[in-house]
Amino acid sequence: MTHVLAVDVGGTKTLFELSDANGQVTHKLKLDSQRFDTFDAILTAFIEQLPQSCVINIACVALAGPVSGQYGQVTKLPWKLDARVIEKQFSIERVILCNDFEAVGYGIAGLADSEVETLQAGEPNQSYPRVVLGAGTGLGQAILIPQENQWQVFATEGGHVDFAPLDRTQQLFLEHLQQRHGHVSYDRIVCGSGLVSLYHFLRDYKQIDENNALRLAMVNGDAASAISQFAIEKNDILANEALDMFVRIYAAQAGNLALTTLARGGVYLVGNILLKNIAKFRSSSFINSFVEKGRMTMLMEQIPIHIVLDDEVGLKGARFLAQKAMYN
């Protein structure tokens, strides 16, 4: 029996999905990426869960970082992948690599209407590009170009463009980060660790008293998740202000990408940070920060904005690319 493996590699977690030639999923697994020193080690951990008789015919590995042909590098992990080496080591007939947001782009086409929520209807025109972006361990972005009744996806590293502050507080935050890191990109801010940096900056700059319970939760668990939880569930002043500033910066960069590509086909927002804080993204603050582009504001109001509610859209795209490669 033919088996197709789809893998979505992120800096925090890696998702595995094995399916048969008919698309029926037979095995799924989520593993903590940072527990493993190499991609080989985490792939071994997944394969050990399979029956010994199971043969993987083709695999698509979508990874959070740049890909060039058979080679890939995960940006937030010391993992280097070589498709030909993986084929030999794991007896897989064919392995293809792609950027994780290339996979997300292809996954969007397979979404049901119920898996997408529209924030701004705009005036959609499917002869123009679409864009997709999402925050996680970093900020991923891709561009979708219409081509013969389908979409061709181009991965980008656009999350690493220079951060452009929009007000005095953001300017001071930029200067704070420049002292620590030198170059400051949106990828450094619109991500989990970026939310934590915003929180610490606002605590010190505005001298807002810190909630002891929140500080303890940040030390003992996922700091970004703790900030989100206290902002949304407990209306903590400092956590709320950090999350609001995070959402405004996220929206501004989404608008930058949409304006650069004239994405009248739609902007698609993805990722767990978005889904965990979806009420903030539904707010007028997000839309206002997206559209406020001076003389281009009226144009920005015409661009549709959608939230992707499926947190495994990248895995769907990787499976699509693997299945497509079977016939090429």
Q: Which is it for strands 116-120 and 94-99: parallel, antiparallel or unpaired?
A: unpaired
Are the beta carbons of 83 and 98 closer than 8 angstroms?
no
Provide the pLDDT for residue 237: 95
Provide the pLDDT for residue 316: 92
Residue 267 tokens read as 């902007």
Provide the pLDDT for residue 220: 92
Provide the pLDDT for residue 1: 64
Strand partners, 45: none
Provide the pLDDT for residue 328: 67
Comparing CA positions, the residue from 282, 277, 38, 204 lying closest to residue 14 is 38
Are the beta carbons of 64 and 140 closer than 8 angstroms?
yes
φ, ψ (nearest 5 deg) of residue 313 = -65, -35
Residue 268 tokens read as 């698609």
- Alpha carbons within 13 angstroms on the beta-carbon side of residue 189 total 32
- Alpha carbons within 13 angstroms on the beta-carbon side of residue 1 total 12
Q: For the chain, first and last CA: distance in Å?
A: 19
Provide the pLDDT for residue 183: 96
Strand partners, 28: 17
Provide the pLDDT for residue 80: 95
Residue 275 tokens read as 């889904």
- The sign of the CA dihedral 310, 313, 319, 321 is positive
Provide the pLDDT for residue 24: 85
Residue 26 to residue 5: CA distance in whole angstroms: 10
pLDDT in tens, the chain (328 residues): 678 999 999 888 999 999 987 778 899 999 999 999 999 999 999 999 888 878 899 999 999 888 999 999 998 899 999 999 999 999 999 999 999 999 999 999 888 889 999 999 999 999 999 999 999 888 999 999 998 888 999 989 899 999 999 999 999 999 999 999 999 999 999 999 999 999 999 999 999 889 999 999 999 999 999 999 999 998 899 999 999 999 999 999 999 999 999 999 999 999 989 999 999 999 999 999 999 999 999 999 999 999 999 989 999 999 999 988 877 6
Residue 33 to residue 263: CA distance in whole angstroms: 33
